Amino acid sequence: MSVRVFLNGQIVPQAEAYISIDDRGFLFADAVYEVIHVYGSHLFAWDLHMIRLTEGMQELGYAPVDLGALKTAAETLVAEAGTPESSVYIQVSRGAQPRAHLFPPAGTPATVLLWVRPLTPFSPQLVQQGVDVITVADDRWTKVWIKTVGLLPNVLAKQAAHERGAFEAIFVRDGMVTEATSANLFIVRQGRLQTAPVTNYILPGITRQVVIELAAAMGLDTELRPFAVETMLHSDEVFLTGTLTEVMPIRRVDGHPIAGVGPLSHRLLAALHDRAGRPAE
Ligand code: PDD
């Protein structure tokens, strides 16, 4: 059976899933999205993702969508995929209308898309050795807390990282670290975690929130305070958090080695896997 996706209330073969050329997600990036990590059949932190999706839609003035139908579709398609790990991608746009900047008339249906794709976990060696990252200027708009599909700065920064042999790019605004192209960032200094506070300049990551909770359960405080690139370079550990990135330690920033890869990031990753019900390696 060919892969099926959920589009506008129905599960259809992907080859038959069409979106209008007038869709505002396509024309204006007028759409929000979510990515959910699925461990076995467990849709990890589903409710938190739905809260963030709803908040973004409210901020942009979208009509509500049927979250129950989304969950049923996700469960059905996860079962069909049948892979040990997968990701759910959800995208909601303001709908389709002949191109005009003004919002479409009230009652224009949103375009609601959901698909499930297999996920290949990172190799234990990669997590053990850590990844290299580069820093780039944070030239995104000032409402990045809304998870819109307008990701061109993220795409360009990630590609720049790749072309320099790095795994991720870290955004820097006015000398302060904000986040990565698709992950949040933590530093560890003297056994304390620190990450940028939630403002309009970062995406309030679900994994970031879960990691703060997991750390607290280990007796570790997280300071929510901005930090400079220099501070990051001289930290004991630096790591990324994200739905697809999980907890990924950083080995070098712009070629500058970080003092340690683990052990805290490795402990937090194990705790995350434990919380998600993922079998140990
Ligand atoms: N990205 N910051 C940005 C800019 C992101 O795009 C993401 C997630 C995160 C981490 O958030 P969370 O822990 O909720 O996944 C932080 C998704 C995975 C993506 O675009 O593929």
Could you tell me if 8 and 56 lie in one domain?
A: yes
Q: What is the CATH number of the domain that holds 160?
A: 3.20.10.10
pLDDT of 235 above 70: yes
Atom 5 (ligand 1) nearest CA: 182
Atom 19 (ligand 1) nearest CA: 182
| Residue-averaged pLDDT of the chain | 97
In a domain, 281, yes or no: no
pLDDT of 149 above 90: yes
User: Where does the pLDDT of residue 1 fall: very low under 50, low under 70, confident under 90, or very high at 90 and above?
Assistant: low
Instruction: Look at residue 182 in the predicted model and tell me its pLDDT.
Output: 98
pLDDT of 4 above 70: yes
Q: Which residues have a catalytic role annotated? A: 147
Could you tell me if 199 and 237 lie in one domain?
A: yes
CB of 203 sitting under 6 A from ligand 1: yes
Could you tell me if 130 and 241 lie in one domain?
A: yes
Provide the residue range defining the domain that includes 19: 4-118
Question: Rounded mean pLDDT of 16-22?
Answer: 97
Could you tell me if 131 and 246 lie in one domain?
A: yes
Higher pLDDT, 262 or 49: 49
Compute the distance between CA of residue 277 and CA of residue 274 in angstroms, rounded to an integer: 5
Strand 168-173 to strand 131-137: parallel, antiparallel, or no bridges (unpaired)?
parallel
Could you tell me if 142 and 89 lie in one domain?
A: no
User: Where does the pLDDT of residue 76 fall: very low under 50, low under 70, confident under 90, or very high at 90 and above?
Assistant: very high
Could you tell me if 114 and 8 lie in one domain?
A: yes
Could you tell me if 38 and 22 lie in one domain?
A: yes
Report the residue among 171, 178, 203 best suited for mutation to probe ligand 1: largest number of ligand atoms under 8 A from its CB.
Answer: 203
Instruction: Point out the ligand 1 atom lying closest to the alpha carbon of residue 34.
Output: 17
Contacts of 6 (CB under 8 A, 6+ apart): 70, 73, 74, 77, 112, 113, 114, 115
CB of 35 sitting under 6 A from ligand 1: yes
Instruction: Look at residue 279 in the predicted model and tell me its pLDDT.
Output: 78
Q: Measure 260 CA to ligand 1 centroid, in angstroms.
A: 24
Is residue 190 within 8 Å of 178, Cβ to Cβ?
no
In a domain, 271, yes or no: yes
Atom 16 (ligand 1) nearest CA: 183
* Amino acid found at 90: I
Compute the distance between CA of residue 256 and CA of residue 276 in angstroms, rounded to an integer: 33
Instruction: Look at residue 100 in the predicted model and tell me its pLDDT.
Output: 97
Q: How many domains does the chain have?
A: 2
Instruction: Point out the ligand 1 atom lying closest to the alpha carbon of residue 210.
Output: 13
CB of 272 sitting under 6 A from ligand 1: no
Could you tell me if 105 and 178 lie in one domain?
A: no
Domain boundary among 118, 136, 163: 118
Is residue 13 within 8 Å of 26, Cβ to Cβ?
no
Instruction: Look at residue 202 in the predicted model and tell me its pLDDT.
Output: 98
Domain boundary among 62, 96, 118: 118
Using alpha carbons, select from 179, 189, 201 the residue that is nearest to residue 245.
179
CB of 88 sitting under 6 A from ligand 1: no
Question: Rounded mean pLDDT of 98-126?
Answer: 97
Q: Measure 53 CA to ligand 1 centroid, in angstroms.
A: 12
**Whole-structure pTM value:** 0.97
CB of 17 sitting under 6 A from ligand 1: no
CB of 91 sitting under 6 A from ligand 1: no
